[in-house]
């Protein structure tokens, strides 16, 4: 029973830490947020004794500290938005073809894909607006 209680307390404290770190990173923006998220991943890897992940994430953290700029993050997001917009154009062409061929199964498939890409674009635009 005592061992079970210790395990429960350990699990609860780990959960509390993850919630705290997640909340802390969410209040940040740009490179600060990216560095915070990598730090959080390092702490999680340490908790589970995944030394290879700790090593890799430490290398990534060092590289991000040296190279991360808010403008660079903005450019990455803009590139992702552009890629998703290109996907939408392709899906719209596929949708028109499916409508011409009276393929209702394909019509709904491409409509769903277009909506999903648009949601992804909206999320990226929201992320972009948070970067100083």
Do 62 and 6 share a domain, yes or no?
yes
Q: How do residues 75-105 score in pLDDT, each as one tens digit?
A: 999 999 999 999 999 999 999 999 999 999 9
CA atoms within 13 A on the CB side of 122: 6
Alpha-carbon gap, residue 3 to 1, rounded angstroms: 5
Taking CA atoms, 53 is separated from 33, 34, 50, 69, 121, in Å, by 20, 17, 5, 24, 30
Q: Who contacts 106 (Cβ-Cβ below 8 Å, separation ≥6)?
A: 94, 95, 98
The tally of domains found in the chain comes to 2
The answer on pLDDT for 15 being more than 90 is no
Residues 19 and 42 both lie in one domain: yes
Last residue of a domain, one of 51, 67, 83: 67
Same domain, 29 and 82: no
My answer on whether 14 and 60 are in the same domain is yes
From 29, 50, 67, give the residue that closes a domain. 67
Task: Kindly report, residue by residue over 116-127, the tens digit of the pLDDT.
Answer: 999 999 999 999
Name the band, by pLDDT with cuts 50, 70 and 90, for residue 17: very low
DSSP state letter for 28: -
Q: Do 123 and 77 share a domain, yes or no?
A: yes
Flag whether pLDDT at 4 surpasses 70: no
- Residues 104, 49 share a domain: no
Q: Nearest 10 degrees: CA dihedral of 12, 17, 23, 24?
A: 160
Note whether 103 and 79 are same-domain residues.
yes
Residues 23-43: pLDDT tens digits? 789 889 999 999 999 999 999
Q: Give the domain-ending residue among 26, 45, 67.
A: 67
Q: How confident is the model at residue 16 (pLDDT cuts 50, 70, 90)?
A: very low
For 105, the domain range is: 70-130
DSSP state, 76? Answer: H
What angle in degrees, to the nearest 10, is found between the helix axes of 30-47 and 70-100? 90
Q: Which two three-digit tokens encode residue 102?
A: 């009276």
Domain shared by 59 and 83, yes or no: no
């Amino acid at each position: 029973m005592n061992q079970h209680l210790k395990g429960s307390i350990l699990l609860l404290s780990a959960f509390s830490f993850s919630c705290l770190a997640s909340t802390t990173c969410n209040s940040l923006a740009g490179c600060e947020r990216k560095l915070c998220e990598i730090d959080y991943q390092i702490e999680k890897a340490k908790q589970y004794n995944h030394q290879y992940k700790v090593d890799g994430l430490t290398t990534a953290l060092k590289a991000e500290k040296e190279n991360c700029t808010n403008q660079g993050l903005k450019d990455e997001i803009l590139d992702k938005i552009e890629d998703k917009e290109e996907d939408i154009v392709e899906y719209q062409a596929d949708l028109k073809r499916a409508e011409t061929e009276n393929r209702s199964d394909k019509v709904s498939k491409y409509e769903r894909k277009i909506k999903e890409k648009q949601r992804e674009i909206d999320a990226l635009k929201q992320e972009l607006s948070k970067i100083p």
